Structure 1
Amino acid sequence: MPHGRNYRDPRRINRRARNLARQRVLAQQVSCAICDRPIDDAIRWPDPMSVEVDEIIPVSLGGSATDLCNLEKVHCCCNQLKSDKSLAWARRKAKGAPALKPTAMPFSTSAW
């Protein structure tokens, strides 16, 4: 993510639009977009199962912080797991499936 005097955080440029979009996402009664488990809106931060709003395409990779199509409701722990990775990667990790690169080759040894 770029830093410096001229960098402007997209999440803060239009704070009002961001807050309105977050409120709409948080009002939805849906399960976590990453792990598919229910979200209890009564659980508050810093509990790992508290609710957060995640950008599907991270802002650091050009995603919108205000577009409802790029925002989803998730658990805090799931959001931390995802970080700036893809949604598909985070879903695989949350479900315990290996997150292998498509170019990964199995390692084998020979008994010479």
Structure 2
Amino acid sequence: MTQINQTSDITAHRQTAALKGLPLYLRDSHEKLFRNCLDTDPEEEQTKGLIVGILTVLEDDDSSAPARIMNIAVILEEDIVLQDLPDLTTAFAFLFGLIYALNRQYPK
């Protein structure tokens, strides 16, 4: 979880919170769209069962500090199609752009 301080970009935090709350608003499961994993997890386990979604890879650190985001990736049919994206908002835009461009259907 990212801590907000006085010098942070509050707009980026609001966008991220709104996107992460979207499944709740639609009365759907958060796990169907967003997945978090550690950078030490095997790639097959990171994407297993995720047909369409966004993967956030967190640093595997034993300290009590908040986990640092190492990578944000877009998943289609259990494969990473885009990675090293700057933020969740960009990943979300790319995900829906790919769904439209590739004529994919979002799972019900």
Instruction: Output the TM-score relative to the length of structure 2.
Output: 0.26
Greater Cα radius of gyration, structure 1 or 2: 1
Q: Between the two structures, name the one with larger relative contact order (CA 8 Å, sep ≥ 6).
A: 1
Instruction: Output the TM-score relative to the length of structure 1.
Output: 0.26
